[in-house]
Amino acid sequence: MSLIVQKYGGSSVANPERIRNVAKRIIETQRAGNRVVAVVSAMAGVTNHLIDLAKEVSVPLTPSEREMDVLLSTGEQTTIALTAMALQSLGAEAASLTGAQAGIETDGLHTKARISNISPDSVHELLNAGKIVILAGFQGKTSYGDITTLGRGGSDLTAIAMAAALDADLCQIYTDVDGVYTCDPRVVSNARKIDVISYDELLEMASSGSKVMQSRSVEFAKKFGVIFEVRSSLNHHPGTLVKEETMSMESIVIRGVSLERAQAKVTISGVSDVPGTASVIFGAVGNANLIVDMIVQNVSKTGITDISFTVHKDEVSKAVDALRPVLAELGDDVNLEATEGIAKLSVVGIGMRSHSGVAAEMFKSLSDAGINIQMISTSEIKVAVIVAEEDIDRAANVVHETFGLSKI
Ligand code: ASP
Ligand code: MG
C-alpha cells in the first residue's frame, strides 16, 4: 500500500461544494488502494480576512505576532474539521489533526516559524487504524506549546515536510491551475503546461513572479529530495512533476518565462566612485527591511557614477525615505530619482548552463519588437530584463515565441 500526501489550497476548499469535491477525490485516492494524508489550507480569502480583523482591533498598534498566530491558525482548523465531516458524510473514516497534534514542532519565530522537528506518531496511529488523516496546513507549535504559523502560503511547506517525515511514496499539491506553465496563460495564450521542472527552475520562476508554490517549501523539497506534483483539483489532468534535475532536462534550454509587474527603479546619480558607497546605500535600504531586486552600477571614467536598483512599487517611497539621510555621505552633487511603470521579464532554464547565446537571442527578439531594455541581470539559469510596464505583455509573447515554448 502506498502512502500519499496531498495538499489542497484555499481555492480548492473555497466553499462547501468544493470541500465535498475534495472529499470525493480523497476517497478515490484511498479506494485505489492508498493511505492518504491530506493537508488543507484555509478557505480562500479567510486568512486575509483574519489579518484585516486583527489590524482593525489593534489600531494604532500592530497586532502581536503571537496572537496573530493563534488567530490565523483558526482558518486551517476550520477547514480540517469541515473536510473530515464531509468525508464522514460520504462514508469514509477520517480524523482531523492540527499541526500541533500532528507533532509539527517549530522555532518561536511567530508568523514565519521554521519547522525544527516532526514526530508524526499520531498520524501513524490514525493511518494504521485505517483512517484518512486531514492535517491543518501552515501551522505548528513551539517546544513550549505556543501555536506558530509558517509564513504565507505555508500549507505547501506542511505538505512537503510531512511527506518527508512520513517517507511518503507520492506528494501531490492540488491547486486551481493544471500545473506550472511556460508563462502566465492570461498573458501568453499558447503557454503550455510544463511536464517536468527542476527545483532550481521553479525557485527562479517563483522569484520572478510565477508564484505557484511557497518558495520555502520548494527549498525544503530540494533539501530533502521530496519529489512532488503540482496539479489541479478541478480535473484529472496530469500536472507538473518537480524534482532534482537530470541530464535529459538540460536539453531544453529555456523552461519558462515569468513576469513581474509593478516594479520601480531608484537611481542615485553623481555618486563618488570610492569604496563604501554601495554599502552605505544598501545598508540604508536593508535597515528599512526592503527587498531589493536588480542592482546596476556603471563604471565611471570621471570618478563619479550612477547606481540603480529596483524594488516593488509599493516600497519605493520607503526606499527614498531611507536614502535621503545618507545622500550627503555619497558625494557632493548627488541626485535621487524614482521611476515607476516598469516590469521584469525573466527567462529561466537549467539548460542555460551548457548553452550559450540565450541572452543574445532574447535581446534580439525584444529589439526586433522595438522594446527597450532598461536593466539586465543574470544568474546561472536566468536572464532577466526590466522593460516599460506597458511593453511587458508584448515582451513576454515575443520571447515565448522566440524560444519556441509553445511547441516543446
Ligand atoms: N492560509 C495561509 C495563507 O493564506 C496558508 C496557505 O494557504 O498556504 O497564506
Ligand atoms: Mg497557497
How do the domains of the chain map onto residue ranges?
2-176, 257-402
User: Is the predicted pLDDT of residue 312 greater than 90, yes or no?
Assistant: yes
User: Is the predicted pLDDT of residue 89 greater than 90, yes or no?
Assistant: yes
Phi, psi dihedrals of residue 230, rounded to the nearest 5°: -100, 120
Q: For residue 31, what pLDDT is reported?
A: 96
Average pLDDT over every residue of 66-73? 98
In short, whether 153's Cβ falls inside 6 Å of ligand 1 is: yes
- Torsion on CA atoms 239, 245, 251, 255, rounded to nearest 10: 50
Domains 2-176 and 257-402 belong to one CATH topology: no
Question: From atom 6 of ligand 1, which residue's Cα is the shortest distance away?
Answer: 153
Q: For residue 246, what pLDDT is reported?
A: 86
The answer to whether residues 197 and 240 touch, using CB atoms and an 8 Å cutoff, is yes
Q: Which fold has domain 257-402?
A: VC0802-like (3.30.2130)
The answer to whether residues 285 and 323 touch, using CB atoms and an 8 Å cutoff, is yes
The reported pTM is 0.91
User: Is the predicted pLDDT of residue 222 greater than 90, yes or no?
Assistant: yes
In short, whether 305's Cβ falls inside 6 Å of ligand 1 is: no
Q: Closest ligand 1 atom to the C-alpha of 10?
A: 7
Owner of C-alpha cell 555619497? 330
In short, whether 331's Cβ falls inside 6 Å of ligand 1 is: no
Owner of C-alpha cell 508564484? 211
In short, whether 154's Cβ falls inside 6 Å of ligand 1 is: yes
Q: Closest ligand 1 atom to the C-alpha of 76?
A: 1
- In terms of Cα–Cα distance, which of 153, 82, 167, 89 is closest to 123? 167
Q: What is the CA radius of gyration of the chain?
A: 24
Distance of alpha carbon 56 from the chain centroid: 27
Residue 138, phi-psi category: left (phi > 0), alpha (psi -120 to 50), beta (remainder)? left
User: Is the predicted pLDDT of residue 102 greater than 80, yes or no?
Assistant: yes
User: Is the predicted pLDDT of residue 408 greater than 80, yes or no?
Assistant: no
The answer to whether residues 264 and 312 touch, using CB atoms and an 8 Å cutoff, is yes
- When pLDDT is cut at 50, 70 and 90, the band that residue 407 belongs to is confident
Alpha carbon of 306 to ligand 2 centroid (Å)? 39
How far is Cα 217 from Cα 138, in angstroms, rounded to an integer? Answer: 11
Alpha carbon of 332 to ligand 1 centroid (Å)? 48
- When pLDDT is cut at 50, 70 and 90, the band that residue 249 belongs to is confident
Count of Cβ atoms closer than 10 Å to residue 235 Cβ:
7
187 vs 176: which has the higher pLDDT:
187
User: Is the predicted pLDDT of residue 252 greater than 90, yes or no?
Assistant: no
Q: Which residues of 39-65 are buried (b: 16+ CB within 10 A; e: fewer)?
A: bbbbbbebbeebbeebeeeeeeeebee
Alpha carbon of 45 to ligand 2 centroid (Å)? 11
Q: For residue 257, what pLDDT is reported?
A: 96
Q: For residue 66, what pLDDT is reported?
A: 97
Q: For residue 298, what pLDDT is reported?
A: 82
User: Is the predicted pLDDT of residue 150 greater than 90, yes or no?
Assistant: yes
Phi, psi dihedrals of residue 80, rounded to the nearest 5°: -65, -40
- In terms of Cα–Cα distance, which of 299, 285, 201 is closest to 250? 201
Question: From atom 8 of ligand 1, which residue's Cα is the shortest distance away?
Answer: 153
Q: Which residues of 389-403 are buried (b: 16+ CB within 10 A; e: fewer)?
A: bebbbebbbbbbbbb
- When pLDDT is cut at 50, 70 and 90, the band that residue 85 belongs to is very high
Residue from 6, 39, 40, 41 to probe ligand 1 pocket by mutation (most atoms less than 8 Å from CB): 41
User: Is the predicted pLDDT of residue 361 greater than 80, yes or no?
Assistant: yes
% the chain with pLDDT above 90: 91
- When pLDDT is cut at 50, 70 and 90, the band that residue 381 belongs to is very high
Distance of alpha carbon 138 from the chain centroid: 14
User: Is the predicted pLDDT of residue 215 greater than 90, yes or no?
Assistant: yes
Alpha carbon of 79 to ligand 2 centroid (Å)? 14
**Beta bridge pairs of residue 378:** 383
- When pLDDT is cut at 50, 70 and 90, the band that residue 211 belongs to is confident
The answer to whether residues 18 and 45 touch, using CB atoms and an 8 Å cutoff, is no
The answer to whether residues 266 and 359 touch, using CB atoms and an 8 Å cutoff, is no
- Residue-averaged pLDDT of the chain: 95
Question: From atom 9 of ligand 1, which residue's Cα is the shortest distance away?
Answer: 152
In short, whether 137's Cβ falls inside 6 Å of ligand 1 is: yes
- When pLDDT is cut at 50, 70 and 90, the band that residue 332 belongs to is confident
Alpha carbon of 59 to ligand 2 centroid (Å)? 28
Average pLDDT over every residue of 18-40? 97
Domain 2-176, classified CATH 3.30.450.20, yes or no: no
- When pLDDT is cut at 50, 70 and 90, the band that residue 285 belongs to is very high
